[in-house]
Amino acid sequence: MIPRYQTPEMAAVWTDTARMQRWLDVELAAVDALEATGVAPAGVAAACRTAAPVVDDAFVAAVLEREAVTDHDVAAFVDVAQDRIGHPHGDWVHYGLTSSDVVDTALCWAMRDAVELLLAEADVLLHVLVDLARVHRHTVMIGRTHGIHAEPTTFGAKLALWALQVDRDRVRLRAARETVAVMKLSGAVGTYSNLPPEVEARVGEALGLQAVPATQVIARDRHAELLWACAAVASTCELIAVELRHLQRTEVGEVREGFRPGQKGSSAMPHKRNPISAETISGLSRVVKSNALAGLHDVALWHERDISHTTVERVELPDSTILAHYLLRRTAGLLRRLEVFPERMAENMAAGRGVVFSQSVLLELVRNGMERDAAYRVVQRAAMTSWDDGRDFVDVISSDPDVPDAVRTRLPEIVDLRRVLQHAGRAVDALDVIVPHPHS
């Protein structure tokens, strides 16, 4: 992933140094287990740990130089590690293991760490949304369907629904964490032909990973589940971003992204304040969602393994987790700096001259005995007249001779916002289950 969209914490999970450190830790844990189970002689594990190389840039460079000869990354790593530890103790490094034992175990370890970072960032976004939803619980705005005015809602309800979706993303991430927090040291085709299962169990316990049955590789549906969870996170961030992009269009003007001192919205037009954060979020989400498809393609491998998945995973797993982390952080930042304009929201709703209460009037006509289709036509005719002639909807419907007096006299109550929005706070109330209200 290019540095522009990296977060330092997540990028650190996927460096060559971090990867080879995990490889070394797996190898050393395996030597510990070999000694504990009586396969390796006493003292080998301590000697290997004492002489173990420091995994730094120089070590990585040495492995890459050796790989130019071996044309095999793990073989090169083992050669360098064994050479640094020295004979005879270094000979026990990688004893009975196949490359995928080390690579897959270390990769699952990295994925688990990545999910922990994603969960922490999702928590931050959730709390930002919850706080905003509670602040705007009574901020009235027009709800839109198909981009057209529908009925009144509140900005708080909109924010609360986003928060609830982020909470579901947390559920998906936690499930993915359990799915990927696994390991295997069962050999070339997963049959423990050269090592007893006790070695695998001990290493899994030492690393905090669950040993699972496998072929030469851990099943890739696990990796695909993590990529799906990342894609779900990206989709949630995009959902928020797309809505905020619409709401800050000049013609709508109900919210606006924060603008830092010295910031420029356009190189040519000084008046511009473009929704760059929201648009960036929308664009990057497409990459993460596309990677999820590549991950699903990796599930089907030949026989007990091939390497068609490895090239994909070198790109998609770091990129998806890094971008998902970046998207969560960028979305939280966008919301923290968001400017909200309740007065403009009220103006936009008033621009409809009351037609947004058409369903309420329709139902009142039905309640008073009018056949539904006939009532629909009466209200529709009044709404169209209101739009076309620029007249107030209540005035138009009041003057319609087909409207009974019983309905006409109740019109002020029917179009009362307090009645329409009396239950709009339920979505905000639902947040108390996941983030208890500080005043409760």
Using one digit for the tens of pLDDT, what is the confidence trace for 344-380?
Answer: 999 999 999 999 999 999 999 999 999 999 999 999 9
Is position 146 annotated as part of the catalytic site?
yes
Q: How many CB atoms lie within 10 A of CB 230?
A: 32
List Cβ neighbours of 115 (8 Å cut-off, separation of 6 or more).
173, 174, 176, 177, 180, 226, 229, 321
Compute the C-alpha angle 184/185/191, nearest 5°: 95
Is the pLDDT at 222 greater than 70, yes or no? Answer: yes
Q: How confident is the prediction for the chain on average, in pLDDT?
A: 95
Residue 1 has pLDDT above 80, yes or no: no
Residue 51 CB neighbours (<10 A) = 13
Count of other CB atoms within 10 angstroms of residue 154: 22
pLDDT value at 440 more than 70: no
258-300 pLDDT tens trace: 988 888 888 888 888 999 999 999 999 999 999 999 999 999 9
Residue 189, classified by CB atoms within 10 Å of its CB into exposed (0-12), middle (13-18) or buried (19+), is middle
Which candidate in 72, 138, 193, 266 is catalytic? 266
- The predicted model gives 415-432 an average pLDDT of 94
Is the separation of the CB atoms in 354 and 400 below 8 Å? no
Q: Distance (Å, rounded) from C-alpha 27 to C-alpha 70?
A: 19
Give the pLDDT confidence score for residue 395 in this predicted structure: 94
Let me know the angle formed at the C-alpha of 317 by 315 and 323, rounded to the nearest 5 degrees.
90
Q: Is 127 a catalytic residue?
A: no
This prediction has a pTM of 0.94
Percent of the chain clearing pLDDT 70 (strictly above): 100
Catalytic residue among 87, 146, 303, 439: 146
pLDDT of 61-117, one tens digit each?
999 999 999 999 999 999 999 999 999 999 999 999 999 999 999 999 999 999 999
Cα separation, 238 vs 60, in Å, equals 38
Tokens 């999820």 sit on residue: 292
Question: Up-side HSE of residue 282: CA atoms within 13 Å toward CB?
Answer: 13
Distance of CA 160 to the CA centre of its chain: 17
pLDDT one-digit tens code per residue, 188-220: 999 999 999 999 999 999 999 999 999 999 999
